[in-house]
Structure 1
Amino acid sequence: MSQRSDLRRRRATLESEWSRWVPRMRTAGPKPSGFGALRHDVTESWERSLSSVDPARDSAPVADGGAVQQRWSGSPLRRPVDDLADELRSIAEDAGFVTAVTDESGTILWTCGGRTMRRRAERVNFAPGGRWDEPAMGTNALSLALRTGRPSSVFSAEHLVAALHGWVCYCAPVHGPDGDVLGVLDMSTTWDRSNPLAMSTVRSLVATIEARLRAEPPPLTPRSPKPVRLTCLGAEQAVREGVPLPLPPRQLEILTLLALDPDGFSPERLREALYGDRTVTASTFKAEISHLRRALDGGVTTRRYALTTPVSCDAAEVLRALEQGDAETALRLYRGPLLPRSAAPGIEAWRTHLEVAVRQAVLASTRPEHALRYGERAPYDTEVHEHALRLLDQRDTRRAIAVGRLATALRD
């Protein structure tokens, strides 16, 4: 109870100092000095930051999402952080923290923590893509650690931005084997959970990451990933360099979903697209992802699932042709329903979307061969057969085909 009271008094004192000095400093007034509640490195950072950061801003600016994903894929920190991911998540969730890893510029590349804290952090863009360098977000533990190359903590109203006054952050830079700063590891939580042991934890984790970086062999020259051809319309096959990949149906479903949505899936969204309301253990779901990742030589990103291996897909090509108004190409490629045996909700939704889109393109076309070609795959679609008859000349011998199909459809 005494610790909570001390924290509350400290926060009130800092809020008072912030309210007193920050407005003055914004108008080029004197910076604070001689006040025990304000650290020199904090006030120096305030002074630097105010030229580019509005203390009233509500969240960090965000870098381009695709670029962030690429930077994390190529970051030297990724492998050691992935190796420690379970431990980092356990610490963050048990202690009520959000843990983040940035690159050398202060852009967050990876986070973990309990759902409640992550949602709270996301409101200020303390999430992948958020920029937390000093020119972008002012005084905070990440920006100080990057600037000084030393561990740093920032409590409540020591943050320049008022939206962060409810937080306390503990941060330490991660140095590569050559001594360069590669990024920082940060653990943040609400001010009332401030605990000096958090800094010890951050230092220990950073020491482990740095030890793993020193132990890693020099990086090999990356090989270009081998492209995969995915056929999922009326068939189910993935081929690489002429050799079929031995993917079971569930992994073909995952590959198809990722190919049709290149922006990728959160784990929750992909799991719902695969299983819907069915109860499936997390280990079963992750095992399917892991097996597909191995089959693609690591070509699926972690955390947010997306393809890094080039995959050409007939269904995606049909959609692209329709977007360009090329019904001829779309019909040539559309050889049947999407993964016809699949009952995955996400696949069923795409299957319906493709069927409706191709059919509408046929009905909008003025070329009778389009209706005839589609009608061969849709023998009971009377509207398509009638459309073919309207487009065919009375002397066109192909009318017999459309008449026969229409008669069959009406009889059944």
Structure 2
Amino acid sequence: MSHSSDLRRRRATLESEWSRLVPQMRTAGSRPSGAAALRPDVTESWVRSLSSVDPNRDSAPVSDEEVHHRWSGSPLRRPVGDLADELRTIAEDAGFVTAVTDESGTILWTCGGRTMRRRAERVNFAPGGRWDEQAMGTNALSLALRTGRPSSVFSAEHLVTALHGWVCYCAPVHGPDGRVLGVLDMSTTWDRSNPLAMSTVRSLVATVEARLRTEPQLVPRDTPGPVRLTCLGAETAVRDGVPLLLRPRQLEILTLLALEPDGYAPERLREAVYGDRAVSASTFKAEISHLRRALDGGVSTRRYALTTPVSCDATDVLRALRDGDTDTALRLYRGPLLPRSQAPGIEEWRTHLEVAVREAVLASARPEHALRYGERAPYDVEVHEHALRLLDPRDTRRALAAGRLTSALRH
């Protein structure tokens, strides 16, 4: 029998067992008999989880704490950052998404190809998501944290049905004192299940643990806070209340890296910054080096990506639009992206943001959205017409929208 048909048969068996046993467990509150197709650690975790987790929930809850600060202070940040290029390559080549959590099961860092990362974000397998047993039920991360041993969970072994399309391979990361500091997980769709993935996870964890043992000074003491990048209608980067001394070109690079969490191959980033301009490799590398020093080493080598927390108003706008929160998107969208920049990559993102916000406004049934956006787009006839369609005939704001429309038509 082929590997793929064997996986399909295994998945069908587990789905059948889940459908039969989970309703019984919810009623009886104990592990039922006759669950031979399931591992004991899975059914025992189901029983524990059902007291706090609805199997029909669609995504992991979000931690109340600021995840950027937690990652900045994590002893895993620097060893994982040193391996970031290798982790990204493995994840992208094999079609996985990789995550690192703290000891509580909160995800602090992820990487992977764009398609898998977006799929993972739908279940909040992303920084800030809580994956401990009490929050998200039976999964490889929660089992590894509970047992202190590597764990894999396939398809309907997950308690939550939204995860039945996944397979996860996970191992805990132990500090030099034996304490579990977090876990490293590699996840993908069930049809890509491969026993070699667990060997890869074990090997990566062993490398991280070796770095922790040989470089104890890497445990941070006075860790600087995250960088706050403001690039919509402004051009500033601040850390702990102190502006970073970055030239316009370095701000462009920082903005591009913030907008592309998976990073850039060097040649692609160079094209995004300079386009067809004849710029020497040494000039480009000097800009990267200055930015890396300003971020205390927070840009990976070989493949350029951020390894230090950077919050950005442009990414906040995109996140709000993905969540359908037009109010927040409009509040944060204070102007075009790096308005003075002529870098091709910035111009492309600038257009993307402008179009995305405008389309959200035109799709909204709330007139205040069109009115607010119309302040920044005085010559956008369609937006003013949209405002007028939505406003009640007796609404005094119609005069404002009508005036703007008249001015736009005359322009």
| Pair 305,101 (structure 1): closer, same or farther in 2 beyond 3 Å | closer
Q: Structure 1, residues 90-110: CA drift from partner, whole Å, max 9, x if none?
A: 111121111111100001111
Matched, 1:6 2:6: yes
- Equivalent positions of 1:210-359 (< 5 A) are 210-218=209-217, 219=219, 221-222=221-222, 247-251=246-250, 265-267=258-260, 278=275, 288-295=287-294, 297-298=296-297, 302=306, 306=310, 343=342
The residue number in structure 2 matching 1:19 is 19
What is the identity, as a one-letter code, of the residue corresponding to 1:10?
R
Q: Structure 1, residues 172-196: CA drift from partner, whole Å, max 9, x if none?
A: 1000000000000111111111111
| Pair 294,47 (structure 1): closer, same or farther in 2 beyond 3 Å | same
Secondary structure at the counterpart of residue 55 of structure 2: coil
More displaced, 143-152 or 215-224? 215-224
The residue number in structure 1 matching 2:51 is 51
CA–CA separation in structure 2 for the residues paired with 1:168 and 1:153: 7
Q: Structure 1, residues 54-90: CA drift from partner, whole Å, max 9, x if none?
A: 00111111225x7111111111111111111111111
Measure how far apart 1:5 and its partner are. Answer: 1.5
Question: TM-score when scaled to structure 2?
Answer: 0.63
Q: Structure 1, residues 298-323: CA drift from partner, whole Å, max 9, x if none?
A: 57892576279xxxxxxxxxxxxxx9
Secondary structure at the counterpart of residue 83 of structure 2: helix
Measure how far apart 1:343 and its partner are. Answer: 4.0
CA–CA separation in structure 1 for the residues paired with 2:94 and 2:262: 27
| Pair 139,286 (structure 1): closer, same or farther in 2 beyond 3 Å | farther
Q: Structure 1, residues 239-286: CA drift from partner, whole Å, max 9, x if none?
A: xxx9x95x544125567x79xxxxx932379999x95894799x9988
CA–CA separation in structure 2 for the residues paired with 1:75 and 1:297: 15
- Equivalent positions of 1:7-406 (< 5 A) are 7-28=7-28, 30-64=30-64, 67-218=66-217, 219=219, 221-222=221-222, 247-251=246-250, 265-267=258-260, 278=275, 288-295=287-294, 297-298=296-297, 302=306, 306=310, 343=342
CA–CA separation in structure 2 for the residues paired with 1:91 and 1:270: 14
Task: Indicate the structure (1 or 2) with the bigger Cα radius of gyration.
Answer: 1
Contact kept in structure 1, 2:139 and 2:159, CA below 8 Å: yes
| Pair 297,202 (structure 1): closer, same or farther in 2 beyond 3 Å | closer
CA–CA separation in structure 2 for the residues paired with 1:126 and 1:224: 26
CA RMSD, Structure 1 to Structure 2 (Å): 4.4
CA–CA separation in structure 2 for the residues paired with 1:87 and 1:179: 25
What is the identity, as a one-letter code, of the residue corresponding to 2:57?
R
CA–CA separation in structure 2 for the residues paired with 1:112 and 1:269: 6
Contact kept in structure 1, 2:52 and 2:134, CA below 8 Å: yes
Question: TM-score when scaled to structure 1?
Answer: 0.63
What is the identity, as a one-letter code, of the residue corresponding to 1:217?
P
Matched residue pairs, number?
307
Q: Structure 1, residues 294-348: CA drift from partner, whole Å, max 9, x if none?
A: 035457892576279xxxxxxxxxxxxxx9xxxxxxxxxxxxxx99975456799
Measure how far apart 1:31 and its partner are. Answer: 2.1
Secondary structure at the counterpart of residue 59 of structure 1: coil
Identity %: 75
Secondary structure at the counterpart of residue 265 of structure 1: helix
Secondary structure at the counterpart of residue 170 of structure 1: strand
Contact kept in structure 2, 1:173 and 1:182, CA below 8 Å: yes
CA–CA separation in structure 1 for the residues paired with 2:258 and 2:26: 43
| Pair 342,29 (structure 1): closer, same or farther in 2 beyond 3 Å | closer
CA–CA separation in structure 2 for the residues paired with 1:116 and 1:107: 22
CA–CA separation in structure 2 for the residues paired with 1:182 and 1:106: 10
Gap regions ≥5 residues in structure 1: 259-263, 309-322, 324-337, 350-359, 361-412
| Pair 138,221 (structure 1): closer, same or farther in 2 beyond 3 Å | closer
More displaced, 283-292 or 73-82? 283-292
The residue number in structure 2 matching 1:313 is none
What is the identity, as a one-letter code, of the residue corresponding to 1:15?
E
Secondary structure at the counterpart of residue 28 of structure 2: coil
Measure how far apart 1:161 and its partner are. Answer: 0.3
Contact kept in structure 2, 1:18 and 1:158, CA below 8 Å: yes
CA–CA separation in structure 1 for the residues paired with 2:68 and 2:18: 36
CA–CA separation in structure 2 for the residues paired with 1:116 and 1:348: 22
Measure how far apart 1:126 and its partner are. Answer: 0.9
Instruction: Report which structure shows greater RCO (CA 8 Å, sep ≥6).
Output: 2
Contact kept in structure 1, 2:25 and 2:47, CA below 8 Å: yes
Measure how far apart 1:15 and its partner are. Answer: 0.7
| Pair 305,74 (structure 1): closer, same or farther in 2 beyond 3 Å | closer
CA–CA separation in structure 2 for the residues paired with 1:270 and 1:15: 37
Measure how far apart 1:124 and its partner are. Answer: 0.8
| Pair 305,206 (structure 1): closer, same or farther in 2 beyond 3 Å | closer
Measure how far apart 1:123 and its partner are. Answer: 1.0
CA–CA separation in structure 2 for the residues paired with 1:298 and 1:189: 30
Contact kept in structure 1, 2:73 and 2:223, CA below 8 Å: no
Measure how far apart 1:207 and its partner are. Answer: 0.8
CA–CA separation in structure 2 for the residues paired with 1:158 and 1:339: 47
